[in-house]
Amino acid sequence: MPELPEVEVVRAGLAPALRGARIDRVDVVEPRSLKRHPGPPEDFIERLEGQVVEAAIRRGKFLWFPLHGTQEALVVHLGMSGQVLLGDESSDFGSLLRIRFDITTAQGDPMVVGFVDQRIFGSMAIDDLIPTRDGAPAGRGSDDSRIPRSVAHIQRDPLDPHFDDRAFSRALRAKNTDIKRALLDQNLMSGIGNIYADEALWGAKLHYLTPTKRLTPARVRELLGEVRAVLQKALAEGGTSFDSQYVNVNGQAGYFAHSLHAYGRQGTPCDRCGGIIRREPFMNRSSHRCPSCQRTPRNR
């Protein structure tokens, strides 16, 4: 599933084209891509055609596009394989195209946006905008302090300037769980998935089963530093692409996979100590760690 860096790369690619753009025509090819929309495809189309997009905003793994003069936004979640691609009037997005938007940019140029999704786990929906609880901007990409109702429950991500380190540390250490489950909990901190959890834990030399209640405030600060470092590096390298299911808005793959230290590196030497990276079952998925650097916690 695309995580924070991949979704942010998509947001940054869409923002220049969609900010101030008018949605002229909407074609819903696959109604299942509207499973989170509170109405039929005809309602989705009617409420979008003729609207002007104010901005492209992201919190965690969610994208949304406020509609000018309304209290609504188009909300996008990429799911496992969703892609939002830019093209022109002659673009053919292939057989996996689920929703197509014909738009006119703020500069008056025609453009086409295609929502492509192989597994149809991603979705689009129109949702109400409500005020953020702290009154601060809701996410990256705008100063707008409104957030879609369906996104309001997730916490800010660690690259958000309004992320509260101390509150996160207190909440994390108060939970009776292991550290990787906590990192994946979008109600504690959003945007982190399996890849970047494994990478941050490798950087902090923490086993994924380390109890959160054993972490000191200093250890949490160190872990947050590793989380931010790996996310920033992944952003700089366009995200992580293992196959064609993650690409940016121009169809290009990211190359952070070449910089991974733990995830997907099973059977290869640890870049830090030379130990052999292991892949171990965890929560119906896998965790990757170095058994020498990331020791199993005692008396867990």
The phi, psi pair for 188, rounded to 5°, reads -100, -45
Catalytic choice (47, 59, 61, 205): 61
2 annotated active-site? yes
d(CA 282, CA 189): 19
233 annotated active-site? no
- Contact between residue 122 and residue 154 where contact means Cβ atoms under 8 Å apart: no
d(CA 49, CA 68): 12
Catalytic choice (133, 161, 281, 285): 285
Q: CB under 8 Å to 36, separation ≥6 — which residues?
A: 75, 77, 123, 124, 125, 150
Catalytic choice (3, 6, 72, 199): 3
Closest CA to 124 of 249, 2, 36: 36
Q: CB under 8 Å to 223, separation ≥6 — which residues?
A: 179, 200, 201, 204, 206, 215
295 annotated active-site? no
Widest CA span in the chain: 65
**Tokens standing for 192?**
């982190």
31 annotated active-site? no
Residues noted as catalytic: 2-3, 61, 285
